[in-house]
Amino acid sequence: MATRISRAELAARLAADIPDGAVVNLGIGAPTLVADHVPSDREIILHTENGMLRMGPAPDAAHVDPDLINAGKQAVTELPGASYFNQSESFGMMRGGHLDYCVLGGFEVSATGDLANWSTGEPGAIPAVGGAMDLALGAKQVFVMMDLFTKDGRPKLVAHCAYPLTARGSVSRVYTDHAVFEIAPEGVAVVDAFGDTTVAELEGLLGLPLIDRTTPTGG
Amino acid sequence: MATRISRAELAARLAADIPDGAVVNLGIGAPTLVADHVPSDREIILHTENGMLRMGPAPDAAHVDPDLINAGKQAVTELPGASYFNQSESFGMMRGGHLDYCVLGGFEVSATGDLANWSTGEPGAIPAVGGAMDLALGAKQVFVMMDLFTKDGRPKLVAHCAYPLTARGSVSRVYTDHAVFEIAPEGVAVVDAFGDTTVAELEGLLGLPLIDRTTPTGG
Amino acid sequence: MIDKVVEDIDAAIADIHDGATVMIGGFGRAGQPVDLIDALLRHGAGDLTIVSNNAGNGDVGLAALLQAGKVRKMICSFPRQNDSWVFDGLYRAGEIELELVPQGNLVERIRAAGAGIPAFYSPTGVGTLLYEGVETREFGGREYVLVEALHADFALIQGYRADRLGNVQYRKTARNFGPPMATAATTTIVQVDEVVPVGDLDAESIPTPGIFVDRVVPVGWREWTPDGRYVGGLVDVNGQPVETGIDPHEGHTKATDHKPSGTEGTR
Amino acid sequence: MIDKVVEDIDAAIADIHDGATVMIGGFGRAGQPVDLIDALLRHGAGDLTIVSNNAGNGDVGLAALLQAGKVRKMICSFPRQNDSWVFDGLYRAGEIELELVPQGNLVERIRAAGAGIPAFYSPTGVGTLLYEGVETREFGGREYVLVEALHADFALIQGYRADRLGNVQYRKTARNFGPPMATAATTTIVQVDEVVPVGDLDAESIPTPGIFVDRVVPVGWREWTPDGRYVGGLVDVNGQPVETGIDPHEGHTKATDHKPSGTEGTR
């Protein structure tokens, strides 16, 4: 199972699943790459939970406006048709189920869609949660984008999360460097395995029963 | 006890108790008269619960704007420094205790400040509450402006309300054609008795123990 | 490309089904989406539950829908008005169900539904007939009633201007129930005087961002909206028809001289 | 006449007492009321409980207040940032108490306090460490946690423009916590770039109406506010100081060329 795709390829793979017109919140880190890979014929509206819809890309250095930032506190721009609102309204949009998609990073995802992405539970760490728990419930579809294995080879898609939970049963899909998984009521399904990766291999490595929903590609 | 003051005199008496800078909601009916009697050296901000602060007086007939009305659904105007907001924000202002004064009409007020002003409980009537229950809790000071007696002579300031309640224990003062009452923790106090009316007379007519807090006027 | 503009008002409301719960914006006549209500009446869906502050004025709009027998239940705060004879008649005849909710609790229930809050505690109504038997709880020594969120299948709202993304602005006190209702329905349909190109609306001043709006229906300027001054001269300060003796059009551009220009959204 | 403008920033915050609960607006640096925080530090009140989304950046503003040992407890959602070394040090040394609240629940608690809602149910945090032992309840088959309102004695907020009545407008994403916090404190103090005459602010675009504001403190335009384009050239996209090699002032009016004009509110 040598096949892994790059972060950029994965972002493009995920972006392809977001339809025209969707309202999307991209979490801090790798998920922000998705914005760069939206097909040019699709109009996607980006939400940032610090209070804006229709966020644009980063400005050039001469146009940085400290009053205009994203949830990662990076400078961004405003596209035509943007709107600003307060934090209460912004989190109401999420909690009320108005966002179509939310793309988050993850430490672990369980077979039932539990997400752990806010705390490693290390005793020395400064705890911080921000909008993670709200975001994890904050869209009709919650996509997690992460490596399938830790650097030392442990699976991050697991039967039960070991890290402290962010939310229970909220993840709909998991996009990884090896495969794309769907968390379905009947179990975890593989919808796309990259390159020469097989569902049987993934089952062995993850130690999880997997449903094969890959679409055979021609050739 | 022949002395009664007119609606306009009563409105002026009440207006005199509202200090410069107060934010005030005037209920439908007689309370709206208060606006016409605010001393000219005071700046009072009128709130209307359908979504506006700094409401101005009625326009002339050629300037009626159907999008600009008060809670009584009458045409009003906008003063400089006005703001518009939605109903949720407007009732949040009231329930959150941000208004300084609210002036309401009343069917009955009890000695402990219960207010009945939304329903006579008649079987045939169409029930309607509107913002009455919110308004009755919706200010730091809730003033009721009403005749002290019904047309057939029954007191409207009573030991216990007979009509269905609007709110419990919310009224701070009662402005009537005969006297001004304060609902204090220790009981009902008369703060102003008009003309030749005496506290003893009022006690007899109302059948309520009254505390005399009238200020003797010179003469 | 996103384009929420639906020019055909009948098409815009065609999926409102029998038995639907429909929120209708407006406080009195201000903000009442009369064109959408007329279309709903033409459409013919019945057995409706209507959530609206009032229960119709005169014989038009919501009152006409009630008169046609399309409404099973009203959820409102103030059905009794000086011109609510249609509702009054149905109610006295026992032909309509009424759920009476204090106005602040009504709008907060709507706001809660839109914000993913299933229930909250309110001081309003404690100890009154309207909350007899309802669960109460003390916080900080004061008593509150438990109030649940109120969702709808559809919201019909009157806005002033919108763009093809569904960003909506309102006009003066006609804003009233529009923003909270827009958040609380599965499908939100907004009639507006005018659709403007994307970018024309000030991003700092969008009470209803497009995320809450499914369809925008331009219905043309009302008599008073082009210059913000009513040029019909047809209502008095109580909203009742009158003859004022003043020529209301003097010094004003006639509404019909303005036609909403072709918009970026509908080209 | 109402005049909420206080020119002397030290006078504006002088009644903040030891042990007070103080909300401080802002998300990261955007909307952080740095001048008010500096004044609070000069003032010297201690044993404070601070409610703010973050726990300070660098060595200025809230971080400086923390460094000076004035804060007993932080209520926030995200204290850990790449430049939050002051808080980090205090926390590791056990010198500060932390109440960690998910951001959406934090702001909804603030909004609830301002709107007279003592408590509400939220889906956020169910089944997590942060809500262990907290009361839960089912609505419609889903589980929610009970969350209580969060009040403060004072709110310190950064606005953009205001009038003497206390109407406040914000600028872009610096709006963030300003409007809800303004509603939730006994005393709300807003620093603004500029005080404008009453009537200059569009009545349709007032995120914080004057009813919520006690004092307005004009502090002068920030480098970028006169023309909406940052002319300092001092921060990168991460908000960190950089040398860009670009002359940021080229083609721009220098901030110091603009002085807030005499205003109706302060004449």
Is the pLDDT higher at B125 or at D260? Answer: B125
pLDDT at C125 over 60: yes
* CB contact residues (below 8 A), chain B span 78-97, against chain D: 78, 80-85, 91-97
Give the sheet arrangement for strand D142-148, strand by strand. C136-139, C142-148, C119-122, D119-122, D142-148, D136-139
CA distances from A131 to C209, D100, D107 (A): 21, 11, 11
A137 vs C contacts (CB less than 8 Å): 116
Residue D205 dihedral angles phi and psi, to the nearest 5°: -135, 60
D118 to chain B: nearest residue by CA? Answer: B96
pLDDT at C222 over 90: no
Average pLDDT, chain A: 93
Dihedral (C-alpha) B52, B56, B60, B65: value to the nearest 10 degrees? -10
Contact yes or no for C118 and D140 at CB 8 A: yes
Indicate the residue of C28, C130, C230 with minimum beta-carbon distance to B64: C230
D144 to chain C: nearest residue by CA? Answer: C118
Chains D and C touch (3+ CB pairs under 8 A): yes
The pLDDT value recorded for residue A64 is 84
Domain positions in chain C: 9-116+150-220, 231-267
Angle between helices D103-114 and A87-95 (to 10 degrees): 120
Tokens of A7: 């972060």
Q: Which of B201-205, C38-42, C124-128, C235-239 has the lowest mean pLDDT?
A: C235-239
The pLDDT value recorded for residue C2 is 96
pLDDT at D261 over 90: no
pLDDT digits (tens, 9 = 90+) for C169-190: 999 999 999 999 999 999 999 9
The pLDDT value recorded for residue D260 is 41
pLDDT, tens digit only, all 219 positions of chain B: 557 899 999 999 999 999 999 999 999 888 999 999 999 999 999 999 999 999 999 888 777 888 999 998 888 999 999 999 999 999 999 999 999 999 999 999 999 999 999 998 888 789 999 999 999 998 999 999 999 999 999 999 999 999 999 999 999 999 999 999 999 999 999 999 999 999 999 999 999 999 999 987 544
**CA–CA dist C264, A146 (Å, integer):** 40
pLDDT at D229 over 80: no
The pLDDT value recorded for residue B99 is 97
Tokens of C172: 């003066």
Indicate the residue of B82, B84, B92 with minimum beta-carbon distance to D115: B92
**CA–CA dist A179, D39 (Å, integer):** 55
Average pLDDT, chain C: 88
Q: Supply the ipTM of this predicted assembly.
A: 0.94
Q: How confident is the model at residue C262 (pLDDT cuts 50, 70, 90)?
A: very low
Contact yes or no for C176 and B51 at CB 8 A: yes
Region C214-241: mean pLDDT is 66
Contact yes or no for C1 and A20 at CB 8 A: yes
Q: How confident is the model at residue C24 (pLDDT cuts 50, 70, 90)?
A: very high
Put simply, whether D145 touches C (Cβ < 8 Å) is: no
The pLDDT value recorded for residue D250 is 47
Average pLDDT, chain D: 88
The pLDDT value recorded for residue B121 is 84
C228 vs B contacts (CB less than 8 Å): 65
Contact yes or no for A85 and C165 at CB 8 A: no
As a CATH number, domain D9-116+150-220 is: 3.40.1080.10
Q: How confident is the model at residue C157 (pLDDT cuts 50, 70, 90)?
A: very high
Q: How confident is the model at residue C225 (pLDDT cuts 50, 70, 90)?
A: low
The pLDDT value recorded for residue B165 is 97
**CA–CA dist C49, C151 (Å, integer):** 11
CATH architecture of B7-50+85-212: 3-Layer(aba) Sandwich (3.40)
Region C28-52: mean pLDDT is 95
Q: Which of A33-42, A80-89, C11-20 has the lowest mean pLDDT?
A: A33-42
**CA–CA dist A7, C20 (Å, integer):** 46
Q: Decide if B49 is catalytic.
A: yes
Choice among A9, A49, A89, A108 that is catalytic: A49
CB B21 within 8 A of CB D2: yes
Report the residue of D109, D110, D117, D202 to disrupt the C interface, i.e. the one with the largest count of C CBs within 10 Å: D117
* pTM attached to this predicted model: 0.93
Region C100-127: mean pLDDT is 98
Indicate the residue of C163, C203, C211 with minimum beta-carbon distance to A84: C203
Helix (H) or strand (E) holding D43: helix D34-43
Is the pLDDT higher at C267 or at A167? Answer: A167
pLDDT at D211 over 70: yes
The pLDDT value recorded for residue A129 is 94
Q: How confident is the model at residue C72 (pLDDT cuts 50, 70, 90)?
A: very high
Contact yes or no for A96 and C201 at CB 8 A: no
pLDDT digits (tens, 9 = 90+) for D146-186: 999 999 999 999 999 999 999 999 999 999 999 999 999 99
A99 vs C contacts (CB less than 8 Å): 211
Is the pLDDT higher at D97 or at D58? Answer: D97
Domain positions in chain B: 7-50+85-212
Contact yes or no for D120 and C120 at CB 8 A: yes
The pLDDT value recorded for residue D68 is 96
Indicate the residue of A78, A81, A94 with minimum beta-carbon distance to C167: A81
CA distance A56 to chain C (A): 13
Region D101-111: mean pLDDT is 98
Contact yes or no for C118 and D116 at CB 8 A: no
The pLDDT value recorded for residue D59 is 87
CB C157 within 8 A of CB C190: yes
The pLDDT value recorded for residue B63 is 79
